[in-house]
Chain A
Amino acid sequence: MGFSRRNVLQLGVATAALAGFGGARAQDASQNADVIRMGIAAKGPRYSDPNLTTQGSDNWATEQIYEQLVRPEDGTFAIKPEEYLPTLATSWTSSPDAKTWTFQLRQGVQFHKGFGEMTSEDVVYSFKRAMTSGTNTTVLSNIADVVANGPYEVTITLKSPDALFLGTSVFNNNTSIVSKKAAEQMGEAFGTDAVGTGPYELTKFDTQVGTVMKRHDGYWGPKAKISTVECVYIADTSARTLALLSGNIDIMEAVRAPGWVASMQQRDPTLKIDMTVPGSFNTLHINLTRKPFDDLRVRQALMHAIDRPAVAQALAPMGGTMAGLQPDFFPAGFKTEDLPEELRYPYDPDKAKALLAEAGFPDGISFPSLCSQREDYSSTMLIVQEQIRLAGFNMDLRIGDHTAYHADNRSDKNTLAMHSSSYPPIPTQLYFQQLSKQSEVKSDGKGGGNYSHYGVVMPGIDDLLAQALQATDFETYDEICRKIELQVLRDLPLIGLSTLSFTTARRGNVDLGYPIKSGYARWRFHRATKTTV
């Protein structure tokens, strides 16, 4: 009884044959120089309509398909308004009060799939749908009207001045220019069947697998060098990593955890790592309604107890430091040495202990705190937990499901709530979402992202924020925002822990055609080239 040698041989031949017929396909991405495959860290695409996307990863596709009136240089953020480049608009002007913006449109821009030339009618339509039915109507609520002055000119009037209008509302996913004709013709189907003007056009949208795009041959600028872009959704980090290492995909969204970059480069030294700076802003909300954190001395002690450069270093090379709430090269950003000495808060556990003792807690304090299990949250908070323990803060960290964590934060259940979010170089967006009275968290879950209750249980930055939002020029805006930074550092409702770069790992045979320095967590592939391996 048992297998004969013949049986074993037959089994071996059958297995080899089965492996052989697809063996070449297993490496197909690296062998096809005309396809770029991106491994996305999510389970599947939700929408390809930039006005509906809420899953950040879907923007890898919309970034290729759509364009806005203006854009920054590839791989960067435009820090100042003058750094924006003409895109679908060739030029623009704004009124002295920064309330009226007029754009001259590029002529001859063709939409995908034969939907004709882009005109002011499409621009007006795109802005109006974003203002009324998009996922970001709040930011666009400052727009009073959008009107066409002939086929190639559009005027946008605002309710309040916005010196950074190009950044807040024009270079914005929601106001990507869509074909009016296509959107009206397709109706609901437009959500997953995009028609834009970008260097690639969507050819396949599969909610379970991903998206496929081909070169837009009617593109107004230099045509994309690689003919096909595929966004393959691989949520599992190990599966995504193996896919990259095997050559099944060319680029992958990274795992933003300590040591990940080093371990990847150890496995394959030819891999290229692309990172945006700053990426996410990791902030720590101190709940001012929970004793003893209502005492400024306790908050100061906490600030001295956290070694922020060490937190950033632990996340190296993805981590970066923030002296306040903005990176130093952003508007309102400070270098530590430029801050008043009393607002620098160097790491000093002894001083932290002394401040705690002064506040009436010579033996330290104990408190529970919730944390998400997601690697960037848990790794950061575990580091913070150990640092502050040395100063007498015994934080009972309860790590749980990411979705539940955010729901708990939104229901005011946390004491020290870490938040990770990306922002463009428009500081008022962070101040509004995380510090304004209007965004105060509510126990019924219907509030916003101000988990500290700043501006409610103590005077906040709301007046300064209102002034910043009325600024008619960049310099004034910047100056008021710097005052906000200083006030927040004095009151300490929110701590800027570190920044965390958006990171991708790329196979060595793929050249993006430009360096990634800054910008949102997505970049275009129209300048990319690839060699076979």
Chain B
Amino acid sequence: MVRYLMWRLLDAVPTILLVLTLVFVCMRILPGDPALAALGDNALPDQLAAFREKMGLNVPLWQQYLNFLGGVLTLDFGRSLMNNTSVLQLLVYNLPYTIELTIAAMVMGVVAGIPLGVLAATHRNRMADSGVRVFSLIGYAIPDFYLGALLLITFSLNLGWFPINGGGDGFVDRLHHIVLPALTLAFVKAAFLGRLTRTSLLEVFGKDYVRTARAKGASERRVIYRHGLRNALLPLSTGMGLSLLATLSGSVAIELVFNRPGIGKLLIGAITERDYAVIQGGVIVFALFVVLVNLLMDLVYIVVDPRIRVT
């Protein structure tokens, strides 16, 4: 197992390197001048030149690239072009907010989505099933930033139940701040997982071993959870992995709507300002997250389905 993990991590190195290279190249190809973004529209030519010199933007691209890669290897992601803050410091500040949002949304989505899927599958073509399908359809159709704004207007602005922006200070305050953003992301997630659970369970319910279990007189609860849901877990774990990644990308819009600190908000701001060092640092975090989630999914497969063997 350890060897397998090591191989999978080594596999990820070229992927991350490719992502870093692509981001480095794309940011330099894109029109836009970080010096102009930092100093403002009225900056004079000599001020811009001095800024480029100071921030190392005048050195050849290949040298910038090597400096960047060397920095990543030593965990030195450079400094923000806008305010000279260490990028690592920015990442360390923002990452916990994104992680807690992702986890909270995932937990809420799973807790709501899987029972809804089970409910729909066990009440096929009845009112409950129709209700879950409508809910799933709405969940798919409604953009998360729009839903976020709706929740914000209803529960924060009109009812005043939740804070309108920010990430909060201290455990309780942070918990209070995370409810609406997590609920927004969880809504889409619950719709997706509910639908997936329903489909997977219905497929499993048609299998011979389920019929046999029922013929043997197993209780309906045992049939659903022991024989049904357990065997539906493989596609569900794939779905949860994908959903986790979608949560991360969805957090970008949500962090903006709720004005929460986080890697997504940090990245969007950095892209607007062409703050190369921050963009590169943020993308590394996202890339690592994708690699780790994929690795986690592979491990879950092994646990869920013993037939899958490491080759």
- Asked if chains A and B come from one complex, the reply is yes
**Nearest CB in chain A: distance from B96 CB, A:** 12
Q: Are B94 and A208 within 8 A (Cβ)?
A: yes
- If the complex has contacts A209-B166, A408-B31, are A446 and B259 also in contact, measured as CB distance less than 8 A? no
Q: Are B37 and A239 within 8 A (Cβ)?
A: no
A243 interface residue per 8 A CB criterion? yes
Query: Can you list 10 A-B pairs with a CB-CB distance of less than 8 A?
Result: A26-B156, A54-B43, A239-B258, A242-B153, A243-B165, A248-B163, A404-B30, A404-B31, A407-B36, A410-B33
- If the complex has contacts A1-B119, A404-B32, A447-B45, are A54 and B39 also in contact, measured as CB distance less than 8 A? yes
Stretch in B136-144, B209-217, B268-276 touching the partner: B268-276
A344 interface residue per 8 A CB criterion? no
Q: Are B256 and A235 within 8 A (Cβ)?
A: yes
Which A residues lie within 8 Å of B172 (CB)? 21-22
B233 interface residue per 8 A CB criterion? no
Q: Are B90 and A208 within 8 A (Cβ)?
A: yes
- In the bound complex, how far is the Cα of B40 from the Cα of A1, in angstroms? 61
**Nearest CB in chain B: distance from A190 CB, A:** 12
Q: Are B37 and A242 within 8 A (Cβ)?
A: no
Closest to B168 in A: A22
A406 interface residue per 8 A CB criterion? yes
Q: Are B33 and A18 within 8 A (Cβ)?
A: no
B63 interface residue per 8 A CB criterion? no
Q: Are B176 and A22 within 8 A (Cβ)?
A: yes
Which B residues lie within 8 Å of A22 (CB)? 162-163, 172-173, 176-177
**Nearest CB in chain B: distance from A392 CB, A:** 30
Q: Are A242 and B156 within 8 A (Cβ)?
A: yes
- If the complex has contacts A207-B83, A208-B261, A243-B165, are A446 and B49 also in contact, measured as CB distance less than 8 A? yes
A160 interface residue per 8 A CB criterion? no
The main secondary structure of chain B at its interface with chain A is helix
B41 interface residue per 8 A CB criterion? yes
Which A residues lie within 8 Å of B31 (CB)? 400-401, 404, 407-408
A293 interface residue per 8 A CB criterion? no
- In the bound complex, how far is the Cα of B39 from the Cα of A442, in angstroms? 18
B122 interface residue per 8 A CB criterion? yes
Which B residues lie within 8 Å of A19 (CB)? 155, 159, 161-162, 176, 179
**In the complex, per-residue mask of B69-84: 1 if CB is within 8 Å of any chain A CB, else 0:** 0000000000010111
- In the bound complex, how far is the Cα of B32 from the Cα of A439, in angstroms? 20
Which B residues lie within 8 Å of A192 (CB)? 83
- In the bound complex, how far is the Cα of B39 from the Cα of A138, in angstroms? 14
- If the complex has contacts A43-B265, A138-B44, are A246 and B33 also in contact, measured as CB distance less than 8 A? no
The B66-111 residues at the A interface (CB cut-off 8 A) are: 80, 82-85, 90, 93-94
Q: Are B85 and A207 within 8 A (Cβ)?
A: yes
Name A246's contact: one of B160, B177, B259, B269 (CB within 8 Å). B160
- Residue of B48, B162, B164 contacting most chain A CB atoms (<10 Å): B164
Which B residues lie within 8 Å of A402 (CB)? 272
